[in-house]
Amino acid sequence: MDGREIRVRGQVQGVGFRPFVWQLAQTHGVCGEVCNDAHGVLIRAAGGDLDAFEAALSARPPALARVDAVETRSIAFAAPPEAFVIAASGRGGAETRVAPDAATCAACLAEIRAPGRRQGYAFTNCTHCGPRFTILRRLPYDREQTTMAAFEMCPACRAEYDTPADRRFHAQPIACPDCGPRLWLETDGRESADDPIVGAARILAAGGIVAVKGLGGFHLACDATDAGAVETLRRRKRRPSKPFALMARQEDLAGFCAPGAADLALLRDAAAPIVLVPGTGALPECVAPGMDRLGVMLAYTPLHHLLLDAVERPLVMTSGNLSGEPQAIGNDEARAKLSAFADAFLMHDRAIARRLDDSVERADPPMVLRRARGRVPGTLPLPPGFERTPQIVAYGGQMKAAICLTKNAQALLGHHLGEMGDALTYDAFVQADRDYAALFGHRPEIAACDLHPDFRATQYAEATGLPVVRVQHHHAHMAACLAENGWPLDGGRVAGIILDGLGLGPDGTVWGGEVLLGDYRGFDRRAWLKPAPLIGGDKAQAEPWRNALVRLDAAGLDEAADRLFAGAPLALARQAAAAGLNAPPSSSAGRLFDAVAACLGLCPLAQGFEGEAAMRLEALARTGDTGAGYDFDVAGGEIDPAPMFAALVADLGAGTDAALIAARFHTGLARQFAAAARGLVERGDAEVIVLSGGCFQNALLLTEMRRELAGLPVLTHRETPANDGGLALGQAAVAAAARLSPPESS
């Protein structure tokens, strides 16, 4: 009997795709079989309306599925199949995609709130929701390959699991109170006799702190409306000012924030990221000091829904870790590391296979700021021209480390790991490299890394024994934005406005505010911020007054510096700058933001966390009328902020509102860099303009830059971070371009 073999590639395992195919077969009278294998989903079918059956596979797949390709070839059956069946999975392998973890669906949420055997059960899930990547040990995605293997299904769950028409058919994390993971509350080192949810809610309502085991690790939770509880958490965790993430029910959002339609859509996404939304000032200032935006996520597991239903108020839900270390994921690890922070532990016995922080995103203008739970291990198609890209591993930078793999013309940008200077973060980086390679059958031919020889990721790449491609930091930023936007390998040159903190330039100086002209294969530096010394090296990142001092002195405004920073060791700093002693010159735009913030009195002596000064400056600027932006001088490609500082100091002396000063800085900076890039496009040197680098996490700067570039084609980050979290994608693209044949000359 003639039939078809249909191969479906993409994110098609663990998302209910096989029962979806089974139901389509019933609808269209098709017989045969479907199974998972190393390459995705394989279908052998005959009879019925095969054309309509095949078309429906990609036209309306399950909500969590992502179909990359449907490939068909004719086959012959020795005997006509009599029915359509779901066959056992094929051999293990890693040519398919793994679904990210997904937030609780509406059906499961209704189930835990209604009478029935899963009422109040914290681990309810189905093929449309629940843990995926955080429980997976190896492929193919079957129960015995996950951390759910320890829980033998009861007869009722087995019946659901085996019934193709059931929404729990082959839902690998399927569970119920009779056979699944168990939840308990620990206080004073012992399991409490209280109902875990009721007991945890009571502690939170009394101002206590509870360590909650989630999907990718532990959170530390407290009542976000209780200033005393929030301050206690800050004191215990030694986190003086960094904003805390919040978790809430959708019906409670209006009580403390003002999400727009785009914010709500993103909050409800299956990825359930932390979303930056406007605050209303209803919560204590200590939740997010100096910020006008709050990082908010909706409950994304049944456990979280049950807890929020019990407390009926928003909760601080911040990573359960020692400062600078990765999040705790094991029960014993949490007890050892978090006991000094938490008054109780809300625990369960389902193991976490890999640590994943919560993703952080913004809806308007859209951007992923931290790519993690819910987004990883989703892949991006490589642009046209990269079809023959070899398997490459790229190791990113020093800050916001993340790894990227290329395989089968796809790029997998891994999860946020953290700052590589921390020993445990570096250990997590090494583990992630091995984990991704094993899980996805990755055998790299090339390693890509940053140009900086002292970055730990660079040193790691050089120790792999692979051929190494070293990619300049800002070139990688530009290439990452190009790759995300599908810019072809031979699409022509682009003008890249790259604004960030620090990156080693090919001339040996520290870059950070550049306009580049180039493509994946190379670049020229056409404009740059006038360099200023970083007094004290790394201390310049932590103490904004140092950056303000050198900029004011360079503008002949030393008296203003003396007045603004009278309490700082200015004489010693000036001596170091003059002697070039631990004061490397830098064109960093990030340090320029710090300098302006310091002049306005925003954490001038020390930042409580990376980026605090710039974030406070953005929040302040949003409250002011932008008006006319400050001017910069330009000569020979060098953009000098001296006139800007002169005008800023004059405005300070005139009593101009600080918010207006902050807004004028944003507008002036955007106008000057936009003008440099616009000229490259208008002269025909560049096809489009690319905006990348950590400074473009600043929504106001991004908006102002887009306004200045109105009428020109502009590429920005949306699915990958503009900061160093996206660096590895750009490194991989540059390394691939170097390996692939250059374009034929015309």
pLDDT digits (tens, 9 = 90+) for 105-132: 999 999 999 999 999 999 999 999 999 9
Residues 303 and 401 both lie in one domain = no
pLDDT given at position 745: 39
φ, ψ of residue 247 to 5 degrees: the values are -125, 140
- Sheet of 40-46: strands edge to edge? 66-76, 2-11, 40-46, 31-37, 84-86
Residues 736 and 699 both lie in one domain = no
pLDDT > 90? residue 93: no
- Sheet of 446-450: strands edge to edge? 379-381, 410-413, 404-407, 392-394, 446-450, 468-471
Query: In sequence order, which residues have a C-beta less than 8 Å from that of residue 268 and are 6 or more positions away?
Result: 250, 298
pLDDT in tens, 36-70: 887 789 999 999 999 999 999 988 898 888 898 89
Residue 13 is part of a domain; what is its CATH number? 3.30.70.100
pLDDT > 90? residue 14: no
Residue 444 lies in a domain: yes
Cβ(209)–Cβ(222) under 8 Å? yes
Last residue of a domain, one of 64, 86, 108: 86
Residues 535 and 674 both lie in one domain = yes
- 698 among known catalytic residues: no
pLDDT given at position 165: 86
Residues 634 and 567 both lie in one domain = yes
Strands 84-86 and 183-187: unpaired
pLDDT in tens, 667-682: 999 999 999 999 999 9
Residue 406 is part of a domain; what is its CATH number? 3.30.420.360
pLDDT > 50? residue 196: yes
Residue 120 lies in a domain: no
Long-range contacts of 441-446 (CB under 8 A, 24+ apart): 441/93, 441/94, 441/95, 442/94, 442/391, 442/393, 442/405, 442/407, 443/391, 444/390, 444/391, 444/392, 444/393, 444/405, 445/390, 445/391, 445/392, 446/390, 446/391, 446/392, 446/393, 446/735, 446/739
- 36 among known catalytic residues: yes
pLDDT given at position 92: 52
Nearest to 737 by CA among 522, 524, 470, 520: 520
pLDDT in tens, 295-354: 999 999 999 999 999 999 999 999 999 877 889 999 999 999 999 999 999 999 999 999
- Average pLDDT along the chain: 94
Last residue of a domain, one of 67, 86, 105: 86
Cβ(315)–Cβ(220) under 8 Å? no
Stretch 198-213: mean pLDDT: 98
Q: Which of 4, 7, 9, 18 is catalytic?
A: 18
Residues 200 and 292 both lie in one domain = yes
Domain residues for 410? Answer: 377-485+719-746
Count of domains for the chain: 4
Burial of 542 (0-12, 13-18, 19+ CB in 10 A): middle
pLDDT in tens, 636-664: 999 999 999 999 999 999 999 999 999 99
Residue 62 lies in a domain: yes
Residues 612 and 701 both lie in one domain = yes
H-helix or E-strand spanning residue 108: helix 106-112
Write down the H helix ranges in 508-656.
539-542, 544-554, 558-564, 570-579, 589-599, 612-621, 642-653
pLDDT given at position 11: 85
Residue 8 pairs in a beta bridge with 41, 70
Residues 400 and 472 both lie in one domain = yes
Q: Which of 4, 9, 36, 321 is catalytic?
A: 36
d(CA 64, CA 129): 8
Residue 398 lies in a domain: yes
Residues 702 and 726 both lie in one domain = no
Residues 258 and 336 both lie in one domain = yes
Residue 674 is part of a domain; what is its CATH number? 3.30.420.40
585 or 80, higher pLDDT: 585
Residue 645 lies in a domain: yes
pLDDT given at position 676: 97
Query: In sequence order, which residues have a C-beta less than 8 Å from that of residue 571 and are 6 or more positions away?
Result: none
Cα 108 from chain centre: 27
In a 13 Å sphere around the CA of 616, the CA atoms on its Cβ side amount to 26
- Burial code (b: 16+ CB inside 10 Å, e: under 16) for 184-198 equals bbbbeeeebebebbe
Stretch 258-279: mean pLDDT: 97
Residue 295 is part of a domain; what is its CATH number? 3.90.870.40
> Is the pTM for the entire model greater than 0.75?
yes
Residues 448 and 554 both lie in one domain = no
| Dihedral sign for Cα atoms in the order 464, 465, 467, 471 | positive
Residue 733 lies in a domain: yes
